[in-house]
Structure 1
């Protein structure tokens, strides 16, 4: 009788007390394809398994110097996934912090902001890199940014936090900012805290303060105002880290000690989804459109009547401030919401999406969608599903052409 076939499987430890679900999803995609056995006990126990001696380690080691030092001393093949300081000499995969900062600056500049601020999480290398990218892109347009206090302070292995002091200092700094100001925060947690402090200080988001985070996490929907966020592509980061460890385990080594993963793009929500305009009448028009875009009877004349202005005068002021017409803005708002609905609810009928964004007739909706995004709603939906399936070599999708071109004014 033939002996049963036993497959050889690498045993890989995921060394982390906590881990982003998207990052674990990327790791498991590679593990399934290469017959890895993932040991993830530490996600539940918070402690490194004693005496563990498998094939290799994937360490999510942000702000865990003792863990990383222990793994380096163990001699086990190890790849670090981190956005913290490079405290050990191990191959590492991290977000491209400068690219994230530049993308954030572009997001605000496209909305005609002139005043900017940075809200750090810590004063570490990752925060400094992200700020540097933000400042570099702003400088290209003659702009600078103010620095807000960090949310946390770490001295050696200890956290020096006083939540009451931080909130009080942050609120004071927010009230000193010119209005409107665009604030870029290191991560979604910091951004949500900024929004919460804005509400305490009676500052409207996004009218007085626009806020952008990083991570596109669940925090975005739970924030006091739905939070816009840079998608830093943690799924790809997890996958590429596993791929790098596979190369090390196979004896191929690694050509680089640090691999940086660029962001996928920005998921825009209410916290930043308004142009920074100086004309209060145009600001009111933008707010009116944001509240009434789902009305299929919404017209340029209706917007002008609601503001008590002539259509001609409002059109002129609107174009001067935003660089686009009122009609183009109505279409852009509807298309952004349609894209969000298709992304968040892929099983929803196209005709239902059309009705929810205020467009009567699925044919009209599809033609408008194609002009705005360069693809049909179904193609857009398919692209989202493919992205969720996480193919091994996902091409970077170019940003769609948009009918709205916000004016960027240099000092």
Structure 2
């Protein structure tokens, strides 16, 4: 079998140029005439590049593993898109692994990626702490760094790794202050699973803002970051007559909108509904969802660029950073009805009856 050096000599180019032309994911610019010469030489010599051989020579697999909690959640899709946009241009293959927020599954993926000599592992979303699994994960991460790979967290902290993220607590505080500014005092909150660090940070932000305003932070239900969990939690909260419901992510907020429709509760006329994340589904919801906007694509872009920059160092290192967030105000939020008309609402009797009937 011909070697890459023979292809380079036949085409009259360097081995590096041959590698750039034949790498299926590289977008490095190569002149069209040069590309044609390389491809013709490779075809004439029946040369087929081996990714494994390339990895053995360069000691780099050009593979990046991305671990996320729920592959069906659109929250993660935009982050992965940002990672992929940068990785593709730089000739890296991205392997996406769905952990189902299970620490054991996560650790097994890390082991597999280490065995494939992945150059980097990027953890998306909040940490789920499980002491025995954590110790095993930490051993795997030490093994990764021993051969020059890097690991980092994005959109949440993870195993004390450097993180590229936003301030989740501050984001939740800003949203609650916005609702209080509209005149809401009975603000319900639906958290994500409190075993997940980002869910705890956002919940703490709700508590902080409510407490600072002298309001009770007791209208709380724990959800699961999923649509159905948000809907079920909302049906419970609506029995306690909130004037606004803040869901800890957009998927649950969409479930809240569904619960309100089932109970014939107008949004935002009777209850304001807000979320966290600013997914495309939030923008296209009816009514369009007010939410905390995270720069999710940019988080992915900066994470992958940080990986590439770190791998060019003699001792790879990634520095943590925080990106800005902002509120996106849409049609799902407004002043409470009492603040607008100054008298009791008919919604309360209606929602209590409807909620009871749905249980």
Q: What TM-score bracket applies, with the shorter chain setting the length? A: 0.5 to 0.7
TM-score normalised by length of structure 1: 0.54
Q: Partners of 2:88 and 2:284 in 1: how far apart?
A: 33
Deviations 1:355-387 (Å, cap 9, x if unpaired)? xxxxxxxxxxxxxxxxxxxxxxxxxxxxxxxxx
Secondary structure of 2:222 counterpart: coil
Q: Which stretches in structure 2 are left out of the alignment for 5+ residues?
A: 1-8, 21-25, 27-59, 99-104, 344-359
1:189 aligned onto 2:238: no
Q: Who is 1:147 aligned against?
A: 219
Secondary structure of 1:243 counterpart: helix
1:101 aligned onto 2:172: yes
Secondary structure of 2:279 counterpart: coil
Q: Partners of 1:190 and 1:280 in 2: how far apart?
A: 27
Q: Which moved more, 1:183-192 or 1:77-86?
A: 77-86
Q: Who is 1:291 aligned against?
A: none
* Conserved 8 A contact 1:148-1:170: no
Q: Who is 2:296 aligned against?
A: 234
- Over 3 Å counting, the alpha-carbon distance change for 1:167 and 1:240 in structure 2 is closer
Q: Partners of 2:234 and 2:77 in 1: how far apart?
A: 30
* Conserved 8 A contact 1:149-1:169: yes
What is the aligned counterpart of 2:312 among 250, 264, 281? 250
Q: Partners of 1:64 and 1:125 in 2: how far apart?
A: 7
Q: Who is 1:59 aligned against?
A: 123
Secondary structure of 1:90 counterpart: coil
Q: Partners of 2:113 and 2:151 in 1: how far apart?
A: 17
Shift of 1:82: 4.4
Q: Which has the larger radius of gyration?
A: 2
* Conserved 8 A contact 2:253-2:275: yes
Secondary structure of 1:106 counterpart: helix
Q: Partners of 2:213 and 2:97 in 1: how far apart?
A: 47
Deviations 1:216-241 (Å, cap 9, x if unpaired)? 11332554533222111111211222
Shift of 1:186: 0.9
Q: Who is 2:141 aligned against?
A: 72
- Over 3 Å counting, the alpha-carbon distance change for 1:53 and 1:101 in structure 2 is same
- Over 3 Å counting, the alpha-carbon distance change for 1:83 and 1:146 in structure 2 is farther
What is the aligned counterpart of 1:15 among 50, 61, 66? 66
* Conserved 8 A contact 1:175-1:201: no
Secondary structure of 1:40 counterpart: strand
What is the aligned counterpart of 1:137 among 193, 209, 212? 209
Show the 5 A alignment for 1:92-131.
Answer: 92-123=163-194, 124-131=196-203
Which consecutive segments of 4 or more residues in structure 1 shift more than 6 A?
63-68
1:38 aligned onto 2:109: no
Q: Who is 2:263 aligned against?
A: 201
Q: Who is 1:346 aligned against?
A: none
Q: Which stretches in structure 1 are left out of the alignment for 5+ residues?
A: 154-160, 284-411
Shift of 1:63: 6.2
Secondary structure of 1:133 counterpart: helix
Q: How many residues align?
A: 265
- Over 3 Å counting, the alpha-carbon distance change for 1:133 and 1:200 in structure 2 is same
1:278 aligned onto 2:278: no
Q: Partners of 2:157 and 2:163 in 1: how far apart?
A: 11
TM-score normalised by length of structure 2: 0.61
Shift of 1:96: 1.5
Secondary structure of 1:278 counterpart: helix
Q: Partners of 1:22 and 1:207 in 2: how far apart?
A: 32
1:171 aligned onto 2:232: no
* Conserved 8 A contact 1:105-1:134: yes
Deviations 1:183-233 (Å, cap 9, x if unpaired)? 221101111112222222332211221111112113325545332221111
Q: Partners of 1:39 and 1:279 in 2: how far apart?
A: 51
Q: Partners of 1:111 and 1:279 in 2: how far apart?
A: 9
What is the aligned counterpart of 2:13 among 3, 13, 31? 3
Q: Who is 1:27 aligned against?
A: 83
Q: Partners of 1:105 and 1:61 in 2: how far apart?
A: 22
Q: Who is 1:409 aligned against?
A: none
Q: Who is 2:41 aligned against?
A: none
Q: Partners of 2:186 and 2:96 in 1: how far apart?
A: 47
